[in-house]
Structure 1
Amino acid sequence: MSEERKNSRLGKGLSALIGEYDTFEAPEGASDSVKEIQMLRMAQVRANPQQPRKKFDEKKLAELTASVKAHGVLTPILVREVDHADYKFQIIAGERRFRASKAAELEEIPARILKTNDLQLLEIGLIENVQREDLNAMEEAEGYQALMSRFGKTQETVAESVGKSRAHVANMLRLLNLPESVRDHLRAGDITAGHARAALASDDPDAVVEQVMARKLSVRETEALVRKMAAGDLNGKGGAKAIEEKDVDTEALEADLSRALGLVVDIKAKANGGEIKIKYRDLEQLDDICRRLSRN
């Protein structure tokens, strides 16, 4: 694929990417709609073993199955033709619809057949997955990382490909710097991405998450906890080393800046103005701060 073609599709998401690949030629004389969408026998279709999405919500899958039973599959899946003794087509995108169709005991499923190679198959699958609204934060972050490492994309081009802001992609990628134990809690839904980003700003994310789960802290309370721990209050519960009280507006502004940067931000008001402190852990974070502040 030429560099010009790559650049021309950026910002248009999955639909533009799919449009670059040729559709399978339907039998001569078929209508345009048949050439675009075909009904395939379920027995001819298999899932992609390299599917980036590893976990499917059983409750939501059951809801989709009920919808398929009542209304059929409204959106075609995307497949490619393969040379295999047991089946003819491999899913590119739409495995949830395929699983729901199997559970609903359908014999056929609507599909668009694309001509893609293995690398293109993976790219489409990754983009389709990271654009899903129900993707958990770790799956999303890992999807962005895969697009960068396997396809040489930058944060900017990933953001344009999936229709997100560069800041959103950068914040999600930071989650990959968390300890594995914290990432496991995020995958399991024990904490939210907001909790995880707040913990990331701490020198001891594990300790933060332990308190979040034990005390059922909100994201804002977690951000306050991290600031207190950074100031020397190791358990975040106050005491001799607790930080001085701040007004609600200042705390809200600190929280907003911390969320935007993914780092601990401390605001101190003084008689003649005040100061803002941003705590970073390594040179990579410092470089990122400098890039953000130097933009026109």
Structure 2
Amino acid sequence: MTNTETKTNNTPKKKAANIPTDKLHTFEGHPFQVIDNEEMDNLSESIKAQGIISPLIVRPMEEKTDEYEVISGHRRLYAAIKAGLTEVPALIYPLDRNQAVIAVVDSNLHREKLLPSEKAFAYKMKLEAMKKQGKRTDLTLSQAATKS
């Protein structure tokens, strides 16, 4: 695994790395489906031809020192494995569970094809994580995003 460290003003320290696919795990409780369909085939073919253009976002697994939980990029990981890649580019962020839940939800709500049940479960996960962090939950999600 190769890596470089980066730190910006208000963001946690992150590392860029190429990580073996067998060291990456789906985020526990990931509320969004990864569907193997024609779109996935197209993504896999694109990755086979050009590689992964946008790195995955991962966090270290708490119980395993050299393994990571995927925060953003579950579809890219699946497509990369399908394309035969054994290693993928990733940015490693030192997030706790609650920060990771919020990041998973926020990074996936922009997707075009979300089932209402996926969206509802995602908002519920985010609300619970915000409560655990002591953040206000009496605001709408758009207000919370701008005030937190």
- TM-score normalised by the shorter chain: which range applies? 0.7 to 0.9
Q: Distance in 1 between matches of 2:29 and 2:112?
A: 21
Within the candidate set 74, 84, 96, 2:64 is matched to 84
Q: What's the RMSD between the two structures over aligned residues?
A: 2.3
> Across the two proteins, how many residue pairs are aligned to each other?
130
Tell me what 2:21 maps to.
42
Tell me what 2:34 maps to.
56
CA shift, 1:99, in A, is 0.7
Percent identical = 22
Q: Which amino acid in 2 is paired with 1:78?
A: I
Q: Distance in 2 between matches of 1:108 and 1:93?
A: 16
CA shift, 1:43, in A, is 2.3
Q: Distance in 1 between matches of 2:22 and 2:90?
A: 13
CA shift, 1:137, in A, is 2.4
> Taking structure 1 as reference, are residues 160 and 64 closer, same or farther at Cα in structure 2, changes over 3 Å only?
farther
Give me the TM-score of the superposition, normalised by structure 1: 0.40
> Taking structure 1 as reference, are residues 139 and 154 closer, same or farther at Cα in structure 2, changes over 3 Å only?
farther
Give me the TM-score of the superposition, normalised by structure 2: 0.75
Within the candidate set 41, 58, 73, 2:52 is matched to 73
1:130 aligns with 2:121: no
Tell me what 1:283 maps to.
none
Larger radius of gyration: 1
| Structure 2: runs of 5+ lacking an equivalent | 1-9, 132-136
Q: Distance in 2 between matches of 1:62 and 1:161?
A: 37
Could you list the per-position Cα deviations for residues 131-160 of structure 1 after superposition, in whole angstroms to 9, with x for gaps in the alignment?
Answer: 22222222112222332244143452x125
> Taking structure 1 as reference, are residues 70 and 154 closer, same or farther at Cα in structure 2, changes over 3 Å only?
farther
CA contact (8 A) 1:68 1:104 kept: yes
Q: Distance in 2 between matches of 1:96 and 1:161?
A: 28
Q: Distance in 1 between matches of 2:143 and 2:48?
A: 36
Q: After the TM superposition, which parts of structure 1 deviate over 4 Å for at least 4 consecutive aligned residues? A: 160-163
Tell me what 2:142 maps to.
159
